[in-house]
Structure 1
């Protein structure tokens, strides 16, 4: 036997509103928690994989610039302003190269070993270009030329490996981004389905429906000027 029809209109309306509000609040909390989790995962993804890929791409450009700037020292005479500017450009490229590689390694700890191997290869190139710079600064062109050729040989092996790694990261990032989008869409769908099922399968759904019908009938009666029974 239903107990809801014995309630007053205000109580019956509350019987309608309270479960609905409870379900709504629960749905909002669920969706908020899911989105917070997705946002945190996406932030970690951007701060890790995306950051590392960008830094390695810049580092590969700086690796080319290091060798190029070292070549700019070669034709200038010792003590000339042109050689001093070339040496400054070389140092700036070298510092940026090592900075971006170290930053990429720190941003992606699970791939740090591979990035470290690139970093060590870059340091080997820099060690040789340092020799070329020192030789060029004292007008020892033959030594500088030999060092630059050696640096070119190392770069010819290292740069394709770095670029292949960057391309692989780009593909992985695209795949992961699609997966996060799918997860977000699934969160929305599951939240809506959960709220719908909760309302549809609620233990008081029949009471709520009967209460709503009875409340509606009593409101019609009130509008006609009659006084309903309590």
Structure 2
């Protein structure tokens, strides 16, 4: 009999392959002009490209760029998940971790590697989830690690990122932006695998990788996250 984790991996492998391309939403299409930060394999900045060029597959390739992912836990140690809006260009309707996006090249403070990723995370937490700025400041974000991965998504739009992972562990006020977020909910650790296995929608590839490999350890160390910090390495997922 397959283990719960094996079943989860098998199920979501096929869900990720089943993404259907949707017409471009005008609001989301306008955001494709934002400039992402291009990086080399060691996370050194090497220029910029539009969000469009950083997410559209060309001959099976996508430029490597910098991103971040936030895992927001409340004081009950429940993880906030979001379902991405159906109008999102990449991975519409997918469930994912609390907030995911990119530092932008045109915002000078967001080009400052770790501090820049934190600044971008606070900006997007406010924009996507409506969290008041006073409830999320860069110093509230606990850096965990960086991961590098690539996903061909639906065959047209995908991802190729060095992704800074942050934990925000506090109670916050939520007012989700419907252009970005379809649903939000908190899930306790004891129910996370059952919840994900019974979704009618897929989950994003980066969240899938983290759930399979890292999330349990981070969750177990919420009161002592310094134990799981890794400032030296970039975790590579093929």
Q: TM-score range by the shorter chain?
A: under 0.3
- Greater RCO, CA 8 A, separation 6+: 1
Query: TM-score, normalized by length of structure 1?
Result: 0.21
Query: TM-score, normalized by length of structure 2?
Result: 0.20
- Say which structure is richer in helix: 1
The structure whose Rg is larger is 1
